[in-house]
Chain A
Amino acid sequence: MSAAGQPFRDNLTMLRRNLLHARRYPSLTLNLLLTPVILLLLFVYVFGDVMSAGINGGHADRAEYVAYLVPGILLLTVSMTSLGTAVSVATDMTEGIMARFRTMAISRASVLIGHVLGSVIQTLMALVLVLGLGLAIGFRPDATPLEWLAAAGLMTLVSLALTWLAVGIGLVSPNPEGASNTGTPLVMLPFLSSAFVPVDAMPGWFRWFAEYQPFSPVIETLRGLLLGSGIGTRNAVLAVAWCVGLTVLGYLWSKARFNREPRR
Chain B
Amino acid sequence: MTTTNADPLAIAATGLRKSYGDKTVLDGIDLHVPAGTVFSLLGPNGAGKTTAVGILSTLISADGGQARIAGYDVTAEAQAVRAAIGVTGQFSAVDGLITGEENMLLMADLHHLSRQEGRRVTAALLERFDLTEAAKKPASTYSGGMKRRLDIAMTLVGSPRIIFLDEPTTGLDPRSRHTMWQIIRELVSGGTTVFLTTQYLEEADQLADRIAVLDGGRIVADGSAEQLKRLVPGGHVRLRFSDPEAYEQAATALREATRDDEALTLQIPSDGSQRELRAILDWLDAAGIEADELSVHTPDLDDVFFALTATPVPAQSADKETAR
Instruction: Please report A residues at the B interface, Cβ cutoff 8 Å.
Output: 1-4, 6, 9-10, 13, 16-17, 20-21, 24-25, 95-97, 99-106, 261-262, 264
Contacts and interface: CB of A to CB of B under 8 A. Distances in A.
Nearest to B147: A96
Contact of B89 (A1, A13, A20, A99): A99
Given A9-B109, A99-B87, A102-B59, A24 B96 contact: no
9 contacts: A3-B83, A3-B112, A9-B112, A16-B109, A100-B87, A101-B110, A105-B79, A262-B59, A262-B60
Given A4-B79, A99-B59, A264-B51, A21 B89 contact: no
A13 B93 contact: no
Q: Which of B58, B79, B92 has the most CB of A within 10 A?
A: B79
Contacts of A101: 110
B203 to A, nearest CB: 21
B98 A261 contact: no
Contact of A100 (B51, B93, B96): B93
Interface residues of B, number: 34
A85 to B, nearest CB: 15
A198 to B, nearest CB: 44
Given A9-B109, A17-B95, A100 B89 contact: yes
Top 4 nearest A-B pairs (CB, nearest first) are A105-B83, A100-B93, A105-B82, A13-B109
B98 A24 contact: yes
B97 interface: yes
Given A13-B109, A25-B97, 20 more contacts: A1-B80, A1-B83, A4-B79, A6-B112, A9-B109, A10-B110, A13-B106, A13-B110, A17-B98, A17-B106, A96-B93, A97-B95, A99-B59, A100-B155, A103-B57, A105-B80, A105-B82, A105-B83, A262-B59, A262-B60
B91 interface: yes
A2 B112 contact: yes
Interface in B154-183: 154-155, 158
B41 interface: no
Contacts, number: 77
B94 interface: yes
B102 interface: yes
A25 B95 CA distance: 13
A120 to B, nearest CB: 20
A24 B59 contact: no
Q: Which of B50, B57, B112 has the most CB of A within 10 A?
A: B112
Contacts of B154: 100
Interface in B28-69: 50-51, 54, 57-61
Contacts of B61: 261
Contact of A103 (B50, B59, B106): B59
Given A3-B79, A261-B61, A262-B59, A21 B110 contact: no
Given A6-B112, A103-B87, A104-B110, A95 B96 contact: yes
Nearest to A9: B112
B59 A95 contact: no
Given A104-B82, A105-B82, A20 B93 contact: no
Q: Which of B50, B97, B106, B154 has the most CB of A within 10 A?
A: B97
Contacts of A10: 110
B85 interface: yes
A96 B109 contact: no
Interface in B9-44: 20
Contacts of B59: 99, 102-103, 262
Nearest to A5: B112
Contact of B93 (A6, A97, A105): A97
Contact of B95 (A3, A9, A95, A106): A95
A201 B67 CA distance: 65
Nearest to A4: B79
Nearest to A108: B79
A255 B10 CA distance: 32
Contacts of B50: 264
Contacts of A24: 97-98, 138
Contact of B94 (A6, A13, A20, A96): A96
Contact of A20 (B60, B96, B102): B102
B93 A1 contact: no
A17 B110 CA distance: 11
Nearest to A25: B97
Contacts of B94: 96-97
Contacts of A9: 109, 112
Contacts of B91: 96, 99
A261 B77 CA distance: 17
